[in-house]
Structure 1
Amino acid sequence: MDALIKPLLRLEIFQGLKPLQITEIARQAERIVFREGDIIVHSGAPGDAAYVIVSGEAVCLKRLGANVRAEPIEAGSLIGELAMLVEHDYSITVVAKTPVRALKLAREAMHGQMRDDRHLAEHISGKITARLTRLTAELRTIDSRLASVAEVHIGA
């Protein structure tokens, strides 16, 4: 079980949880093995879970015009985080580059745990709120920089 808990402990969304909470998340997660070439998640497909890569390597396929670029995804990565919390279509395609062992964190199981453990629900809500606050600040900074550039071009 320790080998399954360690990757969860490294994920930002779970940092700060009690060991028992992490253990319960790992216990309820489905263990999955993907073979080389298997699709882990497909862009546009409805997501019902997130996947934690426990071991192995995967690639995120990104289409750039007529080209496809493969970006590496290493062990310890969380794929499809939103799908474990809300109805969400996957926005990327991820393919196993080597055999991959993963934990599937199903939305239904996560919701059940959050119903049973309000501290877990508050923790995850707090992590998402903090992330949205950071993103909002970054967007304001970008907006301000774009406005400054626009003023320079309009004034020129």
Structure 2
Amino acid sequence: MTGRGAPSRFLAAVLGSGLGRSVRQLQRLQLLFSPAAPDARGARQFVEEAAAEFARRHPEVVLYVRPGGGPAPVLLAEYLNGTVREELIANKTSEEIAQLATKLANQSGLDIVRIRKPFHTDNPSVQGQWHPLTNKPIALLVRGPRLTPPPIKP
């Protein structure tokens, strides 16, 4: 926690440095709804129309559809880091549920926090951050617009 009251951290890659194959963090998606409840109409339409397309687009995510007697329709997302997110989908349309499922599939499961700096190193340099013009000669640097054209030599 910081003085602002919002959690913050340095920018970090999920599961290593990001080199190599990308691993989707969403492991399991469960759709829990009542087959007869009026607020689960969108969930039933999602199962009939869009669930197969979602499963085709996201083959790495296991999609469970569990019709049962629950108080309200819920979308449960379980991530590889152990985080479980529960989204209420009562009175939502099939398209809104499909957008929510895609959003959950594209997230990492980590809490959304303020990033302190766009870069971070465990071994800071005394010289400062490198950029492409660090060791260039001064003659190559742009000094501003020229007010008069340079004289032409004969």
Query: What TM bracket, shorter-length normalisation?
Result: under 0.3
Find the structure with the greater CA-based Rg: 2
Please, what TM-score do these two structures have when normalized by structure 1?
0.21
Please, what TM-score do these two structures have when normalized by structure 2?
0.22
Answer 1 or 2: which has greater strand percent.
1
Answer 1 or 2: which has greater helix percent.
1
